[in-house]
Amino acid sequence: METLPAPRRAGVAPSNAIDALGPQAVAVTILGAYLRPRDGAITAGGLVRLLADLGFSEGSSRVAFTRLVTRKHIERRRAGSTALYTLGVRGRDLLAEGDRRIFSFGASRGADEPWTVLWHAVPSTRRAQRARLARRLRFLGFGPLQDGTWIAAHDRELEVTSLLDRLDVAEYASVLVGRPAASTDFRPVVERAWDLEGLSRRYEDFVAEFRPFLSERARRSISDRRAFIGRTRLVHLYRGFPMLDPEIEPPLAPEPAFREEAIGLFGYLYDSLAEPAQRYFDEVTGRSAARPRGG
């Protein structure tokens, strides 16, 4: 009998709902955590079944799958009469970049590491580039001070200048690297750019959900399916923290409550749940490849 709680639905904090970003984002998590280590292939039906275990409808999951193909994150090939999908170059690059952020998160920053400020005036005629720039800046740990002004508590000069070039908006932006003046109170700036109270609540929700997995009895009795659900939620929810936590050390900002416990939980459970979760993924995707439904 399983002793771990099922994924919370009723009453779950909106900030911690796995479906907050939709099935496409969760599908990327699944592909990165289970398909890439096998360097294998998956059917559309296999991914739809796995997303169903996480609470998504077949219709929304198939739309998400189609978008991943359209954006060339996954690529189609045939094996006899079966359509199989493998990670494309863009998908591999996206996952590799995500891994760098996720698995370096929580490492001690140098005491003398400078901050980065970005100003931009990308015109409204380039709305797509503006939106992509905002998403990527958050991914790099930037927080918004006001429209067109972003700040990060790390030296992000190389990443930002590369990003501006890729988006072809470098002519509309300026970057400054420096340090907060010790003679001024910088905490109001930090509080304006990042929601530190909300961040602490997210950490608390994360710890409350995954702390029961530490029980040896629970881990021994957990089914492969439950391990897959738990580990996928673990990875998907944790991947949001590098975008929300500026990793600023006191006295410029207090350390968010439950941060260290959340980082420790992720590192331990990511490894300890890997084998049964991967086994369930392989079982479902292998069964789907043998009896594909709709792709």
Q: pLDDT at position 164, please? A: 96
- Note the pLDDT tens digit of each residue in 16-65: 444 455 899 999 999 999 998 877 889 999 999 999 999 999 999 999 99
Q: What is the mean pLDDT of the chain?
A: 85
Is the pLDDT score of 182 beyond 70? yes
Spatial distance between the Cα atoms of 81 and 71, rounded to a whole number of angstroms: 24
pLDDT (mean) for 96-105:
87
Q: What CATH number corresponds to the domain at position 155?
A: 3.30.70
Of the candidates 151, 178, 205, which is a domain's last residue?
178
In a domain, 224, yes or no: yes
Q: pLDDT at position 199, please? A: 94
- Note the pLDDT tens digit of each residue in 222-278: 999 999 999 999 999 999 999 999 988 888 888 899 999 999 999 999 999 999 999
Alpha helices in the chain (DSSP H): 22-30, 36-38, 44-53, 58-70, 89-104, 127-139, 157-167, 187-193, 196-210, 216-221, 224-238, 241-244, 259-272, 274-290
Q: Do residue 129 and residue 268 come from a single domain? A: no
In a domain, 7, yes or no: no
What's the token pair of residue 121? Answer: 């005036």
Q: pLDDT at position 274, please? A: 94
Of the candidates 143, 178, 213, which is a domain's last residue?
178
Q: Do residue 47 and residue 170 come from a single domain? A: no
In a domain, 230, yes or no: yes
Q: pLDDT at position 108, please? A: 60
Q: Do residue 269 and residue 222 come from a single domain? A: yes
Q: Do residue 71 and residue 206 come from a single domain? A: yes
In a domain, 185, yes or no: no
Helix (H, G, I), strand (E, B) or coil at 180: coil
Spatial distance between the Cα atoms of 2 and 68, rounded to a whole number of angstroms: 34
Count: domains in the chain: 2
Q: Do residue 134 and residue 269 come from a single domain? A: no
CB 52 within 8 A of CB 61: yes
pLDDT (mean) for 81-86:
82
CB 35 within 8 A of CB 72: no
Q: What angle do CA 222, 220, 267 make, to 5 degrees?
A: 85
In a domain, 183, yes or no: no
Question: Whole domain around residue 50: which residue ranges?
Answer: 14-106+193-290
Q: Do residue 119 and residue 243 come from a single domain? A: no
In a domain, 144, yes or no: yes
Of the candidates 125, 150, 178, which is a domain's last residue?
178
- Note the pLDDT tens digit of each residue in 138-167: 989 999 999 899 999 999 999 999 999 999
CB 262 within 8 A of CB 206: yes
What's the token pair of residue 246? Answer: 């500026």
